[in-house]
Structure 1
Amino acid sequence: MNLDDGAQLVFYILLLIVIGGAMIFELAGRGGQMLRQAALWAVIFAGAFFAADTWLTQPRQQVITGGRIQIPASRDGHFHLTAEVNGTPLRFIVDTGASYIALGPDDARKAGIDPDDLAYLGSAMTANGQVRTARVTIDDFSIGDIREQHVPAMVIDGDLNGSLLGMSYLRRFARVSFEGDLLILER
C-alpha cells in the first residue's frame, strides 16, 4: 500500500464515521434542529468530496492518432501510458531519466520473460539505489498502431513496481515535447 492508498483509506473511514454518526444522531431523535442540519450539510459535503475524488482518480489514457501519442499528466505528476509487450498490456511511466525500457520483475513475467532465468550482468542507478540489470529483447512492442519488433530492454532485479519507458525507445520519435499537461510523442 502506498501513501496515496493509505490517505484514501483514512478518508473513507472518516467519511463512514461522519455518515454513520449523522444517521445515528438523526435516528436517536436528540439534538436541536440546527445541529441536525449541520450534520446533514457535513454529509452532503463529504459525499460531494467523495464523488469528486472518485472522478479525479480515474486513470487518464493516452490518445493515439496516426503517429502521434498524447499522454496527459496523471495526478502524481508522471506521464503513464499503456503499451503491449509481447501481446500483454503493461502500464509504463515515461521516464526521460531512464536510459532504456526497464521492466520490473512482475511485468517481465506477464510479458513472458522469466526474470529468474536471466543473467544479471549489468547495473543501474535508480532513485532507490543501485540495482542489477539483465539485457533482454522484447519480441513485439506496440503503442496503438505504432509497432516495433526486437526492441532492446532491461529487466530490473529489484523492487521496481511497474515499468519505465526510457530514452532508448523515446529516441525513436521525431518529436518529444510538452504542451501544458500533455506529453506529445510524434513519429
Structure 2
Amino acid sequence: MSDLWMNVAYFALLLIAVGGFLVVEMRTRPGQTIRQALAWLLIFLGVIAAAGLWDQISNTVSPRQITLEGGRVEIPQGNDGHYRLTADLNGQPVTFIVDTGASTIVLSHADARRIGIEPDDLAYYGTAMTANGAVPTAQVTIARLTLGDISDTNVPAVVTQGELGQSLLGMSFLSRFVRVSIDNGVMVIER
C-alpha cells in the first residue's frame, strides 16, 4: 500500500511541475506552448503505441515460427522468400533455412561447434553437390533435436568442409513428417 501512495505522490508532484510550467508559458506564448505540448503528447503516445505493438511489429518485420500442440509447426515465409525455423539441437537453439532441395541436415561450422561438434576434428569422406560444385562432407549425429513438442534422438546430419552461412534443414528430416505444405506464404509441417 505504501508503494501506491509513493506513486500517487510522485505523479502529483509531476503534475504540479508540468502544470505550473504550462501556466507560466501560457501567459507569455500561448500559441507556441500549445503546439509544443501537443507535439510532446503525440511523441509520448507514439512511444506507448510502439511499445504496446512491439510483438506484432517485430513479427511482421521478422516472422517467427508458431509451434502448435500435436506436432504441428507453422513457419511464415521471410522477406527474402526463405522459410526459417529454430530447433534445439543438444539443448542449443539453431536457426535453419528449410531447404527441400537439400537431401539432409547440413550444419554450419558455428552451429556444429555450438552443439558440441568440432568441425576441425571431423573426417570429410563424403561429398555433396551444391550450386558451387562438389563439397566434402563429414557425417555427424545430433543426439537430440527438439522442435516444439517434437523430439527426435540420434538424428543424422552432415558438416561441410566449406563454410556455410546458415544451417539447412533438408529432406532427411522433413520426410519424418506426414505433411509438408505451403499455403499463402506459410509452410506447415505436421507429424
Q: Share of identical aligned residues, percent?
A: 54
Q: Deviations over 1:54-99 (max 9, x none)?
A: 8587321100112100000000100000011111101100000000
Mapped contact 1:103–1:153 kept (Cα < 8 A): yes
Name which of 65, 68, 74 aligns with 1:65.
Answer: 68
Name which of 88, 91, 106 aligns with 1:102.
Answer: 106
Which residue matches 2:166?
162
**Structure 2 length-normalised TM:** 0.67
Q: Distance in 1 between matches of 2:62 and 2:154?
A: 29
Unaligned runs of 5+ in 1: 1-50
Mapped contact 1:137–1:153 kept (Cα < 8 A): yes
Q: 1:57 to 1:162 in 2, by over 3 A?
A: farther
CA RMSD of aligned residues (A): 1.6
Name which of 116, 141, 155 aligns with 2:120.
Answer: 116
Opposite residue 104 of structure 1, the aligned amino acid is S
Shift of residue 127, structure 1, vs aligned partner = 2.1
The DSSP-based 3-state class of the residue aligned with 1:77 is coil
Shift of residue 148, structure 1, vs aligned partner = 0.4
Opposite residue 111 of structure 1, the aligned amino acid is I
Q: Distance in 2 between matches of 1:177 and 1:96?
A: 11
Q: Distance in 1 between matches of 2:142 and 2:176?
A: 15
Which residue matches 1:91?
95
Name which of 81, 95, 110 aligns with 1:77.
Answer: 81
Unaligned runs of 5+ in 2: 1-49, 51-56
Q: 1:115 to 1:180 in 2, by over 3 A?
A: same
Which residue matches 2:180?
176
Q: 1:55 to 1:140 in 2, by over 3 A?
A: closer
Mapped contact 1:104–1:157 kept (Cα < 8 A): no
Q: Deviations over 1:11-68 (max 9, x none)?
A: xxxxxxxxxxxxxxxxxxxxxxxxxxxxxxxxxxxxxxxx9xx858732110011210
Instruction: Compare CA radii of gyration and give the structure with the larger one.
Output: 2
**Structure 1 length-normalised TM:** 0.69
The alignment covers a number of residue pairs equal to: 135
Q: Distance in 2 between matches of 1:77 and 1:131?
A: 25
The DSSP-based 3-state class of the residue aligned with 2:101 is coil
Q: 1:57 to 1:118 in 2, by over 3 A?
A: farther
What is the 5 A alignment of 1:9-158?
58-66=61-69, 67-158=71-162
